[in-house]
Amino acid sequence: MSASRRIVVVGGVAGGMSAAARARRLDEHAEIIVLEQGRYVSFANCGLPYHLSGEIGRREDLLLHTPESLARTLDLDVRTGHRVTAIDRAARAVTVDGPDGTSELSYDALLLAPGAVAVRPPIEGLDHPVVHSLRTVPDLDAIESAVAELLGSRPEGRAPRAVVLGAGFIGLEAVEALVRRGLEVELVELADHVLPPLDPELAPLLAAELTAHGVGLHLGVSADAVTGTPDGAATVALSDGTVLPADLVVVNVGVRPASTLAEQAGLELGPRGAIRVDADQRTSDPHIWAVGDAVEVRQAVTGAVGPVPLAGPANRQGRRAADSICGHRTTPQQPVLGTAILRLFGLTAAVTGANQAALRSAGIDHEVVRVHPGHHAGYFPGAEQVHIVASFAPDGRLLGAQAVGRAGVDKRIDVLATAIRADMGADDLAELELAYAPPYGSAKDPVNMLGFVAQNVLDGTMPQWQPGDLDDVRATSLVLDVRSPPEHAAGHLEGALLIPHTELRGRLDEVRAAAAGRPVSVHCASGVRSYLATRILRGEGIDARNLSGGWLTLSALRPDAVVAPALA
Amino acid sequence: MSASRRIVVVGGVAGGMSAAARARRLDEHAEIIVLEQGRYVSFANCGLPYHLSGEIGRREDLLLHTPESLARTLDLDVRTGHRVTAIDRAARAVTVDGPDGTSELSYDALLLAPGAVAVRPPIEGLDHPVVHSLRTVPDLDAIESAVAELLGSRPEGRAPRAVVLGAGFIGLEAVEALVRRGLEVELVELADHVLPPLDPELAPLLAAELTAHGVGLHLGVSADAVTGTPDGAATVALSDGTVLPADLVVVNVGVRPASTLAEQAGLELGPRGAIRVDADQRTSDPHIWAVGDAVEVRQAVTGAVGPVPLAGPANRQGRRAADSICGHRTTPQQPVLGTAILRLFGLTAAVTGANQAALRSAGIDHEVVRVHPGHHAGYFPGAEQVHIVASFAPDGRLLGAQAVGRAGVDKRIDVLATAIRADMGADDLAELELAYAPPYGSAKDPVNMLGFVAQNVLDGTMPQWQPGDLDDVRATSLVLDVRSPPEHAAGHLEGALLIPHTELRGRLDEVRAAAAGRPVSVHCASGVRSYLATRILRGEGIDARNLSGGWLTLSALRPDAVVAPALA
């Protein structure tokens, strides 16, 4: 290793800073220069909403390092306010606009970690001063000062009104933060459910949590225009004709790779504009590496390629790029699972692998399994349901999983993310040996239960019917509700035959008569009792199948089909 | 399948009841008879300590099913108070002692789920009425009524005094329960640390938690005798001469397989007295299956065979046995990881795979890696250290992991248990894509950090020194403490050179002079700063190595070596 090697890193957050730090640890004598166009490096971008909410009390806690601390601990030359405007690949030099003007900086290795830029949706009036985004420390500072001013003035003695555009991860975190600060919040999302990456049957749980905290939901609509009002506030006009008054508008409708510099330098980009890299993070130029939100990755399950703006992969990519630059052994980049998690008030929602929409659009055959077990033993106080939806290949391989609940969600998704990475299937999940004591889990953990149910579905022990097929199911089979009469009375499907599961063995004749040769489509609340009933019926030679996810899922997806007592 | 097949299950808890339930779901017409010698079936044995503590308020919550409920839902013929005294394998019949006398019962398939019996340690006076065990509902009832009586009478106006013998999982749960109920508790353990399956460096964390809750610890000693006192209480004499007054004694020093019936029937047993079964849970008799605490399993990492009394494996074995009995597809039994978890007041301790002692005694070469990361992002309020110790094979495979902390412990052990099952190694852990948002984890999760450190150790980037080698290290190398002066002042190793890591680059001459050609053994508090220092030194051509687990581990394992300010 040459003592004079110069490594230039463009972008001083997440991936870029991971690379710089790792490079120093591998090469004590390299000259490592980090160029960051913003005022801050190594800040906690995932923490911004939690400072806005007030949970992270001190703004400086978000600033994990400063140029000074990085010089002291890692001997890095970190230059904020320095923007790279061009790469001269032949000369191995970058052009830098800094506080002291424009200069050239040569490199032996160049690492690009430019991140992503917020997508600016096609909405009129987005330049109105009440409109903000939430991606950077200056963004946060601006929202924070707007909120403080609004709370201080309280026009007309009412709570300030915020409109949040985009119900993705950051949008929802912003909603919670603003509600915690005392604002009235309206949430606008183009997709027909909140948190679009979530499978639609889980989204109603989040919607209910938002509603319970006073958030107004506007789903399946777009914002058309932001219009200033004489008092300095604004209105947001939606595509359905609604006009929302807004003292503050926060826009987070997604990001796109900040790949302009790379593109202008002639580096190869993918079809979605992300920088193409090899397994060692090297671009099409052998002296240039790239990491983070700006690079193209492959989705593990579907094989789709594109950018994935997640902190975890960015950090690991930075480490890998440094290993490659320094000639250290590298662990080749693995396809991305897209594991992500959201806290929304008392709920947690998390995803890993491919969701149902991605599987469908990739044409990947799969069976959807849904379970609602307690997050720990039911006899121990405080058990909370974990609502899990998972997709399995016909050969049993786990393709994706999502979960929503009030406790134990992150643990199950992390186990399932590990399982997908290990190519595990239903049989493996059934046999996982997870830590059990009553405060933590069950002897049959929710992950085991998911495996058991998937085994039963895949080997034909328990054929399923899907809530999405309800209309067809009602037209061609007998729907058998095996819940208790009070549960039935609180909401049921019209025309369903009610026989509590404990009475089924003695009332088979009624089932046979009502079915009249048609299959029997059984359901209960969560799928457990109806599984027993399905097995009883199949043991008697009746073609029975169980509703995936039970009434909990069906009533969330098809509220229109629910006959409530007032209507019955 | 014959409509008249009779399946007889011996033992109606965990494994036995799982088997009976699964058998019914697979065969609607089988006659399924469950013979349980006790008064209760399907009770929550793992919940007993939590009823004693008062957390599970209602005793009936522990009784998950009754013979009546099992008849109603699963058409099972459950007979409590029925003890099987003999198996006539040739006639395929068992002899049953029941409330109405002795009878014979024939079977087509026999499933043995007899569980384990408490080991009775060689202590004089164990039949004294103040002595109890905690394994069954009647055990619990007896302790409960003794505690209630003691709390009601409060002899001499003081808290009742309990002595707990055995600091394993159940013993420690019993300690916590008794403390919560207001008793003064003394804990006696033959091993030199609490929770013997735990690696010794983690046990001091539990010991400190016990002490903080007023529990007296007597480690490395045995109880010799329980002697009655005139007031109806007793004393417990320990091998070190201590005599503990005791209003209540709870003994839980382990269990052994309840395999007498199987042995008398001539079924093959393993060397440790457990019933030998094949991958489908079938014993040496093709018409007899066995599951649970009484059967022999293989340890996944060491290959050792013996019984493992854990609820999770028992339940899955029951399911597998039923699959086999009913001719259903089986998932072959997998070797056991021994994943287990304990709540001890505010702490959680969990283990999976082989501990260091098991690896040593199996002669398996391994490298021990220790990390102490926060359970979530440090800038988000409430981050708690997770103390993780893990062993890796030279090729990187994860062999075992243990963790102790106040939050996030169960999640990491479950992920690591999944990783061991999948034969993952350090590179895989480094690349796991786990769910990250500030309330849940870090962009580099503790599991990723463990992987990173293991990679650095295994590929030579960061050679380690082990706290167990302290004396040798001090004799042959320079110990370099790179913490801050206040940390050093609060406790350090005599003769260690103090240079804060941020000053190291400017003070290399001091290091070289003090080392005088010897290697440099670096340490900080947790191992992070000393890793940076180790890399700086190695980059300068100095043979440096980093203390595994840092001062946190060293001072726990070798308190005798700590020079505290009062002594310095």
Confidence of residue B87 (pLDDT cuts 50, 70, 90): very high
Instruction: Spell out which residues of chain B touch residue A322, defining contact as CB-CB under 8 Å.
Output: none
A273: left (phi over 0), alpha (psi -120 to 50) or beta: left
CB of A385 within 8 Å of a chain B CB? The answer is no
| Token pair for A38 | 């913003």
Judged by phi (left if over 0) then psi (alpha if -120 to 50, else beta), residue B516 lies in left
Query: What's the CA gap between A349 and A368, in Å, rounded?
Result: 18
CA B109 to chain centre: 34
**Chain pair A-B, CB pairs under 8 angstroms:** 254
Angle at the Cα of A385 from the Cα atoms of A467 and A478, rounded to 5 degrees = 25
| Domain span at B361 | 346-458
Choosing from A458, A493, A517, the residue where a domain stops is A458
Q: Taking a C-beta distance cutoff of 8 angstroms, is the pair B260, B84 a contact? A: no
**Domain shared by A507 and A533, yes or no:** yes
Return d(Cα A77, Cα A32) in angstroms, integer. Answer: 6
**Domain-terminating residue out of B268, B293, B325:** B325
Residues 6+ apart with CB under 8 A from B156: none
CA distance B79 to A130: 73
Is B411 within 8 Å of A414 when comparing Cβ atoms?
Answer: yes
Model pLDDT, residue A64: 87
* Residue A333 belongs to a domain: no
Confidence (pLDDT) at A362: 97
Do B188 and B291 have their domain in common? no
Angle between helices B550-557 and B203-212 (to 10 degrees): 70
> Average pLDDT in the B98-116 region?
97
Q: Is A72 exposed, middle or buried (0-12, 13-18, 19+ CB in 10 A)?
A: middle
Helix (H, G, I), strand (E, B) or coil at B428: helix
Contact residues, B window 65-84, toward A, CB-based 8 Å cutoff: 72-75
Of all residues in chain B, the percent with pLDDT exceeding 90 is: 95
The distance of B232 to chain A (nearest Cα, Å) reads 35
Q: B residues 201-220 near A, CB within 8 Å?
A: none
Query: What pLDDT is attached to residue A566?
Result: 55
Q: Which helix (H) or strand (E) holds A251?
A: strand A248-251
Q: In 10 A of CB B327, how many CB atoms?
A: 10
Strand order in the sheet with A93-98: A83-88, A93-98, A101-106
SS3 label, residue B348: strand
Distance CA B110, CA A542 (A): 29
* Residue contact A44–B444, C-beta within 8 A: no
**Nearest by CB to B502, which of A64, A73, A538?**
A73
- Mean pLDDT, chain A cut into blocks of 10 residues (568 residues total): 80 95 97 96 92 94 92 97 98 97 98 95 95 94 96 84 97 98 97 97 97 98 97 96 98 95 98 96 98 96 94 95 97 93 98 98 97 95 97 98 98 98 98 97 97 98 96 97 96 96 97 97 97 98 97 94 71
Give B219-242 pLDDT, tens digit per residue.
999 999 999 999 999 999 999 999
**What pLDDT is recorded for position A1?**
44
Cβ-in-10-Å burial (0-12, 13-18, 19+) of B134 comes to buried
CA distance A351 to A497: 36
Distance from A211 to chain B by nearest Cα, in Å?
Answer: 22
Do B316 and A430 lie within an 8 Å CB cutoff? yes
Distant-in-sequence, close-in-space partners of A541: CB < 8 Å, separation ≥ 6: none
Q: Which of B140, B379, B503 to mutate to test the interface with A (most CBs of A within 10 A)?
A: B379
Pairing of strands B116-118, B255-257: antiparallel
Q: What is the arithmetic mean of pLDDT over B482-496? A: 95
- What is the Cα–Cα distance from B198 to B190, expressed in whole angstroms? 14
Q: Which two tokens stand for residue A46?
A: 């995932």
Residue B286 CB contacts under 8 Å (≥ 6 apart), including other chains: none
Checking DSSP bridges between strand B297-298 and strand B288-290, what pairing results, if any? unpaired
pLDDT of residue B157: 80
User: How far does Cα A107 stand from its chain's mean position?
Assistant: 37
User: Min CA distance, A348 vs chain B (Å)?
Assistant: 10
The mean pLDDT of B270-287, rounded to a whole number, is: 97
Q: Which of A26, A46, A190, A362 is catalytic?
A: A46
Domain assignment present for residue A336? The answer is no
Same domain (yes/no): B471, B389 = no
Res. B138 pLDDT band, cuts 50 70 90:
very high
Q: What is the mean pLDDT of residues B299-318?
A: 94
| Cβ contacts of A314 on chain B, cutoff 8 Å | 443
For the question of residue A46 being annotated catalytic, the response is: yes
Shared domain for B217 and B238, answered yes or no, is: yes
Residues A231 and A284 in one domain: no
Q: Residue B163 above 90 pLDDT?
A: yes
Question: Is B172 a member of any domain?
Answer: no
**Chain A contact present for B439, CB below 8 A:** yes
Tens of pLDDT, residues B339-388: 999 999 999 999 999 999 999 999 999 999 999 999 999 999 999 999 99
Q: Do B445 and A312 touch (CB under 8 A)?
A: yes
Which A positions 147-206 lie with beta carbon below 8 A of chain B?
169, 173
Does pLDDT of B98 surpass 50? yes
Using a CB-CB cut-off of 8 Å, the residues of chain B touching A26 are: 461, 535
Report residue B565's pLDDT band, with 50, 70 and 90 as the boundaries: low
Q: What is the 3-state secondary structure (H, E, C) of B480-496?
A: EECCCHHHHHCCEECCC
CATH of the domain at A304: 3.50.50.60
Q: Do B470 and B451 share a structural domain?
A: no
B81-B86-B92-B93 Cα dihedral, nearest 10 degrees = -40
Is B517 exposed, middle or buried (CB count within 10 Å of its CB: 0-12, 13-18, 19+)? exposed
- For A81, the 3-state DSSP assignment is coil
The interface predicted TM-score of the complex, written ipTM, equals: 0.97
Question: What residue type is assigned to position B456 of the chain?
Answer: N
Distance (Å, whole) CA A293 – CA A303: 18
The answer to whether the CB of B111 falls within 8 A of the CB of B8 is yes
Residue B332 lies in a domain: no
State the pLDDT at residue A413.
98
B422 half-sphere exposure, CB direction, 13 A CA radius: 28
Q: Are A140 and A65 within one domain?
A: no
pLDDT of residue A568: 43
The answer, yes or no, to whether residue B305 has pLDDT greater than 90, is yes
CA distance B457 to B453: 6
B449 and B480 in a common domain: no
Which of A348, A380, A413 is the closest to B47 by Cβ?
A: A380
Query: What DSSP designation does A196 have?
Result: T
Q: Residue B351 region, left (φ>0) first, then alpha (ψ -120 to 50), else beta? A: beta
- Say yes or no: A322 contacts chain B, CB-CB below 8 A: no
Contacts of residue B48, defined as CB under 8 A and 6 or more positions apart, other chains included, come to B62, B134, B135, B136, B137, B139, B140
> How far A70 CA sits from the closest chain B CA (Å)?
10
Q: Answer yes or no: are the C-beta atoms of A174 and A134 closer than 8 Å.
A: yes
Nearest alpha-carbon partner for B537 in B566, B563, B499, B567: B499
Q: Are A25 and A325 in contact (CB under 8 A)?
A: no
Minimal C-alpha gap between A157 and chain B (Å) = 32
A349/A409 Cα distance (integer angstroms): 7
Q: Is A507 on the interface with B (CB under 8 A)?
A: no
In the three-class reduction of DSSP (H, G, I as helix; E, B as strand; rest coil), residue A103 is classed as strand
CATH number at residue A546: 3.40.250.10
A352 touches B: beta carbon within 8 Å: yes
Rg (CA), chain B: 27
| Residue B397, burial from CB neighbour count under 10 angstroms (0-12, 13-18, 19+) | middle
In A345-450, beta strands by DSSP E: 347-353, 367-371, 386-392, 398-405
Is B126 domain-assigned?
no
CB B363 within 8 A of CB B349: no
Same domain flag for A21 and A88: yes
Question: How remote is the C-alpha of B490 from its chain's centroid?
Answer: 33
- Going by C-alpha positions, the residue among B184, B328, B145, B434 that lies closest to residue A313 is B434
Q: Which pLDDT value is given to residue A3?
A: 54
Bridge partner list, B557: none
* Residue A438 to residue B62, Cβ atoms within 8 A: no
Residue where one domain finishes, among candidates A458, A480, A514: A458
pLDDT tens, B170-207? 999 999 999 999 999 999 999 999 999 999 999 999 99
pLDDT at A2: 47
The sign of the dihedral angle between the CA atoms of B424, B427, B430, B435 is negative
Q: Are residue A35 and residue A98 in the same domain, yes or no? A: yes
Q: Give a yes or no: residue B423 inside a domain.
A: yes
Say if A315 is an interface residue toward chain B (CB within 8 Å). Answer: yes
Q: Are residues B228 and B266 in the same domain?
A: no
Whether residue B564 has pLDDT greater than 90:
no
A176 found inside a domain: no
Tell me the pLDDT band of B4, cut-offs 50, 70 and 90: confident
Residue B260 and residue B111 share a domain: yes
A340 in any annotated domain: no
Cβ <8 Å between B352 and A435: yes
- Among A29, A50, A411, whose Cβ lies nearest the Cβ of B539? A29
> How many domains is chain A built from?
4
The reply to whether residue A443 touches residue B57, judged by beta carbons under 8 angstroms, is no
**How many whole angstroms separate alpha carbon A529 and alpha carbon A484?**
10
Query: Would you state the pLDDT for residue B566?
Result: 55
- CB contact under 8 Å between B312 and A336, yes or no, is no
Q: Note which residues in 453-472 of chain A have CB less than 8 A from chain B.
A: 455, 459, 461
